[in-house]
Structure 1
Amino acid sequence: MTGGRLLLDVAPLRESSAFRRLWIGGTVSGLGSQLALVAVMFQVWEQTRSTVWTGAVGLAQAVPLLVLGLFAGALVDRSDRRALYLLATAGQAGCALLLAAQALLGHLPAAGVIALVAGQSVFVAVGGPAARTFLPRLLPAGQLAAGLALNRVAFQGAMLLGPALGGLLIAGAGLGGCYLADALSFAAALYAASRLPRMRPDAEPVASAGPAPSAGPTLTAPARPGLRDVRDGLAFLARTPVVRAALLADLATTVLSMPISLFPLVNAERFDGGPRTLGLFLTAIAAGGVAASVLSGVFTRRPNQALVMLGAAATWGVALALFGLVSGPWPGLGLLALAGAADTVSVVARGTVVQLHTPDALLGRVGAAEQIVGRAGPDLGNLRGGLVASATSGTTALISGGLLCVAAVALIGAATPGLRRPPAPTPTPSLT
């Protein structure tokens, strides 16, 4: 493989102007969201000096996604997805403007700030699944993995730069300036989406008792409203082993082996216990993720992304189990960087598998399920790690979690023969 084919594949940016605009808009608005998160955490802490209140910020972000996710996905699958995304993004921008206004004109109490964060998350619950339906219409099947890798590197860049820039903005322009920068960042996403054509969903696949045939699903009338939509989405997940396995693989890597809640304890148990070492743990994971994104040509061009997904998920588990065994900080940081790289590979490959095996009419509901799994899995995994460590040790929690992850991934691969076969891509629907 030549050097050029090892690097991040930028063909989607070069060949699709619509994807290029969306990517730039998403990158700018994603950076703005990281600025706002720093501002919210700072404001709530300054007002309360309570970790309970700062923890409530994460809860306010998660609960709307978990409660509304599947219903929002059903709405996406019976609406013009472009129009719905525009409304959801405008709603997020409106909440950001309200946060800026309260900071500039007189601070709301912590409960009011958290209420605005929850309101913004309601719009994210709708906009997230809508955005996930765009790529299969904008890119050919062979470029889906590359497009997802580009989205991933934008997300990681925002995670690395956003907190530092947010701190500088708060120090220089105050909370109001930081919130206002977030509100203005949504203009880029709104402009990019406004240039898209209408994106009505395709017809609804007929439910069946077995897996969808390789020739593609039979199509009937558009999606039905309400609880029946949600039921149909869940039925699709139940009868489509490859998509179900992809979501289970995500849960295996997060619920069984998420390490972040263990870092303070491991830092105290085995390293110097200082903040410098603790901060490097997360930085190492992020650095590994960025490196994998930059070199994503290694895996995005492979025909069977399901095998890539399984291999990366297992590598995540092995790296974390070994991190639990090593005694020195530098080998430990290297293993965390490997885990971060494996996580990025797994996320991109899993997203490709899901989109290639999901009919257009169900992309909103399946995207909502992905969003729920991606949000709830890490929270549950951190809780699991904390409970195991409290009963044993941080080392035991890391090693057991990594081994459980590897075992679960092996079981998923063995139980799902379809993962070992390259997919027959679903036809790309018309943009009109």
Structure 2
Amino acid sequence: MDTSESSTAEPANDDTPVRTARPGTTSPDPAPDPAPDPAPDPGPPDPASPDTGGARRGWRRFTMDTRPLRHPAFRRLWSSTIVTAVGSQLTAVAVPKQIYDITGSSAWVGYASLAGLLPLIVFALWGGAIADSMDRRRLLLLTNSGIAATSVLFWAQAVTGLDSVAVLMVLLALQQAFFGLNSPARNASIARLVPEDELPAANALGSTVMQTGLVAGPLLAGVLIPVIGLSELYLIDALALCVTVWAVVRLPALPPLTAAAAAAGRAGLGAIAEGFRYISLHKVLLLSFLADIIAMVFGMPRALFPQLAAETYGGHGEGLALGLLFAAIPIGAVLGGLASGTFSRARRHGLMVIVAVVAWGVAVTGFGLSGNLWVAVAFLAAAGVADMVSMVFRGAILLSAATDEMRGRMQGVFTVVVAGGPRLADVLHGTGGSLFGPRAAVAGGGLLVVVATLVLAAVTPALRNHRV
């Protein structure tokens, strides 16, 4: 939702993108034209901001760092996600619910999830290359419009009673393809809208909204389905996406910064391969991806939640236990985001990632060892806080340690890692739970996260030494 004032009330240069420094330097990227871009309008001074000489006192030291919201362009982009974070979850609930209603089979629900995975991976990698070779605002307009049109098609097939699983899977694949094209451009644009020292705070703001959507969206869907029906959930999502399109319309142009990137104008396999070569030559980027893979593949136990809810915590009611297990991590992440003032100003970004991933592993281990539902939920919530910290600083590393002409491709790889890691974890934990029991599999996975992360930090100093 666009909460900023009308465009006539703001100076014309409020939304001009800020240049960001190249890795290892403090100087800005060379401009393709002789006139440098002015920095984003800082808006009214924050008396608690170090930029104004003030200090965050009392309880304000622990609250969310909102400095990025002083920049109108970022504020528009962020505020639109408040609506779409919930709307997207309505569709995320409606699709599997409709497939299950048609087939009566959970297996088909799983097949539908896989149907969206391959398009997401392919188009995220390609979308990252496109985002580095064209105006990112234009790409966001095209892809957000495509996602909205797909939601309208979801609504049309539901309201007409088509009841076709094949159509649903095709639409899901199309939606995930648009999302794969959209996500790298959206995330890479943040570094052009806020100063580098505010990137962790900007990531915390965005992640908190998305995690809130993960909690509120499914709850709202559960309330609305008996009242208005399934098809209207798709329509609400489509209307919410119109808000995002309007917010993107009001962004500044975000063309490639360098003449070489602008002249390339291509996004083929060669550009994608160049992105992977770039990662291999910049250890801190490679290690940030590896840290996330370790955390998610070994330590994401969601595949075992149904079995644990039935066998270990069933005394509280299987439905209640299952809902609490799935909600605990997002709730913890939201709480971590609301308290992000405690960590968002840290400058040793690599060390913060290591500490957060180790804390995630410890919390998951505690969850696996817990026989009491409420203790288990507390450990999962603590894991959610650690995951928020990790997300904030991994995102900041990707935006600050890569040059602008590579940020789209880095975000494309990041999207693939985020989407693929938990799915690999589902296979690993599902198999481990069958072999060793669910609690042993969860606790063992958490310990593997701790050990693997500490070994990674010991043998590769590039990550632990990385700072702004």
Does residue 337 of structure 1 match 2:381?
A: yes
In structure 2, C-alpha distance between the alignment counterparts of 1:197 and 1:17, rounded to whole Å: 10
1:336-375 mapped onto 2 (5 Å cutoff): 336-375=380-419
Does residue 7 of structure 1 match 2:101?
A: no
Does residue 396 of structure 1 match 2:440?
A: yes
**Identity, % of aligned positions:** 36
Residue equivalent to 1:379: 423
Change (3 A) 1:32 1:267: closer
What residue identity is the alignment partner of 2:124? G
In structure 2, C-alpha distance between the alignment counterparts of 1:265 and 1:189, rounded to whole Å: 38
Offset of residue 5 of structure 1: 1.9
Change (3 A) 1:234 1:24: same
Residue equivalent to 2:74: 19
State the secondary structure of the residue aligned to 2:314.
coil
Cα offsets for 1:2-45 (capped at 9, x unmatched): 321211111211x1111111111122122111111222122111
State the secondary structure of the residue aligned to 1:133.
helix
In structure 1, C-alpha distance between the alignment counterparts of 2:265 and 2:351, rounded to whole Å: 32
The answer to whether the 8 Å contact 1:89/1:123 transfers is yes
Cα offsets for 1:335-385 (capped at 9, x unmatched): 111111111111111111111101100111100000000000001012101
In structure 2, C-alpha distance between the alignment counterparts of 1:260 and 1:78, rounded to whole Å: 38
1:32-43 mapped onto 2 (5 Å cutoff): 32-43=87-98
In structure 2, C-alpha distance between the alignment counterparts of 1:223 and 1:363, rounded to whole Å: 15
What residue identity is the alignment partner of 1:261? A
Does residue 271 of structure 1 match 2:310?
A: no
Does residue 257 of structure 1 match 2:299?
A: yes
The answer to whether the 8 Å contact 2:131/2:409 transfers is yes
Residue equivalent to 2:3: none
In structure 2, C-alpha distance between the alignment counterparts of 1:121 and 1:329, rounded to whole Å: 35
In structure 2, C-alpha distance between the alignment counterparts of 1:202 and 1:222, rounded to whole Å: 12
Offset of residue 223 of structure 1: 6.2
In structure 2, list runs of 5 or more residues that go unmatched. 1-56
Does residue 92 of structure 1 match 2:147?
A: yes
In structure 1, C-alpha distance between the alignment counterparts of 2:307 and 2:72, rounded to whole Å: 47
Residue equivalent to 1:174: 229
State the secondary structure of the residue aligned to 1:200.
coil
In structure 1, C-alpha distance between the alignment counterparts of 2:147 and 2:121, rounded to whole Å: 18
* Aligned equivalent of 2:176, options 121, 130, 138: 121
In structure 2, C-alpha distance between the alignment counterparts of 1:223 and 1:145, rounded to whole Å: 30
Segment of structure 1 superposing worse, 372-381 or 300-309: 300-309
Residue equivalent to 2:165: 110
Does residue 201 of structure 1 match 2:245?
A: no
* Normalised TM-score (structure 2): 0.84
CA RMSD of aligned residues (A): 1.8
In structure 1, list runs of 5 or more residues that go unmatched. 206-218, 425-432
In structure 2, C-alpha distance between the alignment counterparts of 1:85 and 1:184, rounded to whole Å: 17
Does residue 64 of structure 1 match 2:123?
A: no
The runs of at least 4 aligned residues of structure 1 exceeding 4 Å deviation read none
Offset of residue 298 of structure 1: 0.8
Segment of structure 1 superposing worse, 29-38 or 353-362: 29-38
The answer to whether the 8 Å contact 1:12/1:139 transfers is yes
* Aligned equivalent of 2:459, options 403, 415, 431: 415
Cα offsets for 1:208-230 (capped at 9, x unmatched): xxxxxxxxxxx896465411101
The answer to whether the 8 Å contact 1:223/1:229 transfers is no
Offset of residue 174 of structure 1: 2.0
